[in-house]
Structure 1
Amino acid sequence: MDVFDILDRLVAFPSVAGKPNGDIAGWIEAYLGEHGAKVTLLPGPEGDRSNLFATIGPADVAGYILSGHMDVVPAGEPQWSSPPFTLRREGERLHGRGTTDMKGFLAAALAAVPALTKLRLARPIHLAFSYDEEVGCRGVPHLIARLPELCAKPLGVIVGEPSGMRAVRGHKGKAAARVTIHGRSGHSSRPDLGLNAIHAMAVALSAAVGEAERLTHGPFDLAFEPPYSSLQAGVVTGGQSVNIIPDTCTLDLEARAIPGVDPTSLLAPAKARAEALAANGFLVEWTPMSAYPALSLPQDAPLAELLGELTGEAPSAAVSYGTEAGLYQAAGIEAIICGPGDIGRAHKPDEYILTGELAACQRLIEALGARCAA
């Protein structure tokens, strides 16, 4: 199978984040097994989805991980020109959900496997394919925790998120949480007998808005746009009717932090103000939704230099989106982003990747294999 056949098969699996992924993980496991790779499925605590880890070469020697996620975002938008889970070729464009984010990288890595297995690798190349990345990098921490029993500590991780095949050394960290406030309903003519959850939520929302404004004053990291950490309220829901005292209100918050700043700390002011409402009779729930740290790989790191040599251009400093790379770095493993496609095409109808981008990615992976050969 060539890279296009593989991508066709991968796109056909509607592996939406948060859903069981046995079909796609099982197909990849079988494909890799046919080519002699050592494959391990790693079921997550959910019980219905798994990470996958595979090794080509000696597992007891330090090598490199090619990291990607098998899940995709939903594809319910009516603007799709063709079925989103059927690969459609239009000239150099290959359309389908996940083609860019990030089944294109998975396909290129899998297409390179036959060439890698023919090499006498002195250093291994591992494939680490995770689940539920699109809902807050929930799967990969379980995979990272198992690495010590699966392989020698890797020299580095290449996370194949779409970067136009230019390596990237940094991204912001992220944390998201939901606050739910429960009050007491009643007729709006007697507000003295109820507890208005929306009014109470305004206190927490005000704290979040104030923190967002404070963050615009620094600290700064000019590698990013914007060059400061940020905080926003993304979703507010509550109430039934204008003449009913609302007894419940929820608020979803998201923070994005420059390297050196803990993203969860940016949510602390809103959390404190919300929880203080308990003294007024409200029941307050704070539910973390997702969190991952920033990535910051030094310019002179061996992995950055290697990717510069393999791609022919110096790695760029940072991208605006987040990846699993920060979690690998937090675990003590150098990580960098480099993959086919453009993030601007992701998460929208008629998502696509270019045939040339797939070919370039496969060449890079095979070149990495040549570096690892005896």
Structure 2
Amino acid sequence: MLPEPMLARLVSFPSVVGRPNGAIIGFVRDYLAGHGVEARVLPGPEGDRSNLFATIGPAGVPGLILSGHLDVVPAEEPQWLDDPFAMRDREGRLIGRGTCDMKGFVAAVLSAVPDLVAMDLPAPIHLALSYDEEAGCRGVPHLLARLPDLCAPPLGCVVGEPSNLTPVLCHKGKAAIRVVTRGRSGHSSRPDLGSNAVHKLLPVLEAVVRTEAALREGACDPRFAPPYSTLQAGVVRGGQAINIIPDRAEIEIEARAIAGVDPVALLQPVRAAAGEGAEIEVLSAYPALSLPADHALAHLMTGLTGKTPLGAVSYGTEAGLFQQAGVPAIICGPGDISRAHKPEEFLTRDELHAARALVVALARKVARGEGLR
């Protein structure tokens, strides 16, 4: 299948994060089977969502992973000019939810599968497709846990998040929690008879502000913008009406950490401030990515793209989790991250074809024995 029809087909599946993804997983599995490639469907603990892993070439030999996620953010903004799940071509712009982030990369890889199969690769190229990346990379850890049973230890992984096909070496790590406080409801005229759950959030919020200020003066890495780790409260909820003592309140807090800093540890002062009576739920957690500039994977992608690697980006990806699992990883995919999560999201036709050409060029290097060793 050509890249444009493949992308249109992938976009037609409304694989919104947090929802069942059996339809799009089934399509990919059947497409690969039509080219003689067996795909392993790996259900997650949710029961209605799965990862997918497929291998082209000998699975028992160390090879390379091409990684992407199949979920997309919701497309409920009124600024969409047409159905966001029906791809439109407007003067070379392929418009639709997920075209850029990141079904474009997946379409490029899948459309190249016939070429890869025909190469009789001496080392494998694996395809790893995950779910719920947009909820904090919740799906891929279950795939990574199965990796030792699926293939020989991989030599590297290319995560195709939108980077204008420029290799990216580093990104920040992230951790997010929800803190819930409980109180006792009542009429606001008698606060002495109730317990205000919103007021109980105050020590938590103070800890966020205090910790955030300290991070500005702490460890720095000039490759990032901003060059320090960050902490912020993004959501606060509580109360029903001004004259009712709130019996429940919650706050959602995220930490973004520069390479070498554990994002989970950044949240410890907040956890301590919450006290024993609060409920704390982990919403997401993934580590930073940090690939040395002189790594063989960086040299490989520099040669293929002809572009000098970008030192770091502030957004996060699944690449840090691959690295944590012992698989060196780099980001390199079509499109620009500035178009992601917006109405009228698009990928250009030229970007899509360039990504496909990159995948084929990578496979040819592997076929000539010039991949990673």
- What SS is found at the alignment partner of 2:187? coil
CA distance, structure 2, for counterparts of residue 40 and residue 20 of structure 1 = 17
2:342 corresponds in structure 1 to 348
Map residues 319-358 of structure 1 onto 2, 5 A cutoff: 319-358=313-352
CA distance, structure 1, for counterparts of residue 242 and residue 23 of structure 2 = 47
1:310 corresponds in structure 2 to 304
Q: Quote how far apart the aligned CAs of 1:38 are.
A: 2.3
1:56 corresponds in structure 2 to 56
Deviations 1:44-99 (CA, angstroms, capped at 9, x unpaired): 11111110001001111111000000100000111101100000000110000000
CA distance, structure 2, for counterparts of residue 38 and residue 309 of structure 1 = 30
Q: Gapped runs of 5+ residues in structure 1?
A: none
Q: Quote how far apart the aligned CAs of 1:189 are.
A: 1.8
1:66 corresponds in structure 2 to 66
CA distance, structure 2, for counterparts of residue 114 and residue 328 of structure 1 = 26
CA distance, structure 2, for counterparts of residue 370 and residue 115 of structure 1 = 9
Say if 2:148 is the partner of 1:154: no
Q: Quote how far apart the aligned CAs of 1:164 are.
A: 0.2
Deviations 1:94-134 (CA, angstroms, capped at 9, x unpaired): 00000000000000000111111110211110000000100
Scaled by the length of structure 2, the TM-score of the pair is 0.98
1:205 corresponds in structure 2 to 205
Say if 2:106 is the partner of 1:106: yes
1:257 corresponds in structure 2 to 257
- What SS is found at the alignment partner of 2:157? strand
CA distance, structure 2, for counterparts of residue 139 and residue 344 of structure 1 = 24
1:138 corresponds in structure 2 to 138
- What SS is found at the alignment partner of 1:197? coil
Q: Gapped runs of 5+ residues in structure 2?
A: 369-373
Q: Which amino acid aligns with 2:57?
A: G
1:370 corresponds in structure 2 to 364
C-alpha contact (below 8 Å) 2:29/2:38 kept by paired residues: no
**Percent of aligned pairs with the same amino acid:** 61
Q: Quote how far apart the aligned CAs of 1:314 are.
A: 1.9
- What SS is found at the alignment partner of 1:206? helix
Q: Quote how far apart the aligned CAs of 1:173 are.
A: 0.2
CA distance, structure 2, for counterparts of residue 251 and residue 143 of structure 1 = 30
CA distance, structure 2, for counterparts of residue 194 and residue 267 of structure 1 = 30
Q: Quote how far apart the aligned CAs of 1:185 are.
A: 1.4
- What SS is found at the alignment partner of 1:288? strand
Q: Which runs of 4+ in 1 moved over 2 A?
A: none
1:9 corresponds in structure 2 to 9
CA distance, structure 2, for counterparts of residue 112 and residue 296 of structure 1 = 29
Q: Quote how far apart the aligned CAs of 1:266 are.
A: 1.0
CA distance, structure 1, for counterparts of residue 11 and residue 100 of structure 2 = 11
Deviations 1:329-363 (CA, angstroms, capped at 9, x unpaired): 00111000000000100001000001111111111
CA distance, structure 2, for counterparts of residue 154 and residue 302 of structure 1 = 13
CA distance, structure 2, for counterparts of residue 240 and residue 53 of structure 1 = 47
Q: Which amino acid aligns with 2:334?
A: P
CA distance, structure 1, for counterparts of residue 11 and residue 240 of structure 2 = 41
1:293 corresponds in structure 2 to 287
> How many residues in Structure 1 have an aligned counterpart in Structure 2?
368
Q: Which amino acid aligns with 1:319?
A: V
Scaled by the length of structure 1, the TM-score of the pair is 0.97
Q: Quote how far apart the aligned CAs of 1:39 are.
A: 1.1
Map residues 178-193 of structure 1 onto 2, 5 A cutoff: 178-193=178-193
- What SS is found at the alignment partner of 1:126? strand
CA distance, structure 2, for counterparts of residue 49 and residue 220 of structure 1 = 38
